[in-house]
Amino acid sequence: MSSSFRFLALALLALTGCERGPAPGLAVVDFRHARESGGTPVASWKGDQVTAEELRQRLEEMSPALRERYQTLEQKREYVEGLARFELLVQEALARGLQNDPEVLASTKRALVSRLMRSQLEEARPPVSDAEVAAYYASHEEDYVRPEQVRLSHVFLAAPRADAARVAAARAKAEKVLAEAKALPPKDFAAFGRLARTHSEEPRTQPLDGDLRYRSLEVLAQDFGPEVAEAARALVTSGPGALSSVVQTDAGLHVLQLTGHQTASDLKLEDVRQQITGRLSQEKRTQAWAELLSHLERRAGFTVDATTLSRVHVDMSTPMLPPSGPPPGTIPAPFPTAAAEQP
């Protein structure tokens, strides 16, 4: 094929591509190092170059300590040659058709999705209004304004205070349970829970290994008696794992273990405005990501044939085969880092 005919064919292909655009899954990628003309070349090769302006910018983007490596002509030559040789290797890979290698395609797809995610979630940050922040604070005020709370586990033995004989028998058993609890490692909450499951006579908490969950001292007094609340207050100074003596209430006897403590909190809206704004902004970006995925599925006419899919057998008995290629891409989580912390 003559060079003029080859040029005409390439021109027609380019014109066709401009008119119709690439087919789905196909793209034209410009791998040239310098995509814009202009500048003063410090190194050139066929169809590409490194300019003095680019080199100056690259050096200014380095830390001052790193720039010390490139003070002499030879040091700068070494850096420029490194840039050029990398680009020459890219050109050679393209000449060998490696841009269509499965590993290259898989890496490129992941890079494209990652860049799309940054564009969708980070560069287009949806605004959060003061009204939205105030509404969130109002609906979650218990997270920011709450009294001191304790978490207890208990072994309860029913013995009404007026029944002296029953109280005496229950106390003897409670003292025995307390002795067993003291013999346990201080923070072996599971072991104390087994004592509660075995001996406790409180039907609501016995199946939960005696766990009372977090309660304020006021609620604790209302639910189990002021004696339990006072005992809990005393345990706080010793910290989680501390055991009470046998505590008597109108309903019976308790052996208590402190398993958690939360100090009182009184955070105003202004104290947590920035935190709430960040949380709502993250929620909006996550929603925007989900909406983008739904839009792309609708636009592409995405469907799943459930009947055919159900016939795909998953054999758990066969050995693992060697991979036939890179694993398929999967949708990354919008925010892989931990969610915003509670106050």
Question: At 31, which amino acid appears?
Answer: F
Assess if residue 8 is contained within a domain. no
CA–CA gap between residue 308 and residue 290 (Å, rounded):
26
Task: Give how many domains the chain has, as a whole number.
Answer: 3
Same domain, 70 and 217: no
Look at residue 137 in the predicted model and tell me its pLDDT: 96
Question: At 136, which amino acid appears?
Answer: Y
> pLDDT for 122-174, tens place per residue?
776 789 999 999 999 999 998 999 999 999 999 999 999 999 999 999 999 99
Same domain, 288 and 217: no
Look at residue 74 in the predicted model and tell me its pLDDT: 95
Same domain, 86 and 137: no
Which residues make Cβ contacts (< 8 Å) with residue 85, sequence separation at least 6?
none
* Spans of the chain, pLDDT less than 50: 1-19, 337-343
Same domain, 90 and 189: no
Assess if residue 1 is contained within a domain. no
Same domain, 176 and 210: yes
Give the structural domain span for 82.
Answer: 30-100
Domain end marker among 215, 237, 263:
263
Look at residue 341 in the predicted model and tell me its pLDDT: 40
Task: Give the C-alpha distances (Å, rounded to integers) separating 3 from 7, 10, 11, 97.
Answer: 6, 11, 12, 21
Question: Using an 8 Å Cβ cutoff, are 215 and 224 in contact?
Answer: no
Look at residue 126 in the predicted model and tell me its pLDDT: 81
74 phi/psi in degrees, rounded to 5: -65, -35
Same domain, 210 and 251: yes
Look at residue 335 in the predicted model and tell me its pLDDT: 64
Look at residue 2 in the predicted model and tell me its pLDDT: 40
Same domain, 196 and 133: no
pTM: 0.60
Same domain, 137 and 273: yes
Half-sphere exposure of 326 (CA within 13 A, CB side): 14
Assess if residue 322 is contained within a domain. no
Same domain, 259 and 277: no
Assess if residue 181 is contained within a domain. yes
Domain end marker among 215, 246, 263:
263
Same domain, 186 and 253: yes
Question: At 150, which amino acid appears?
Answer: V
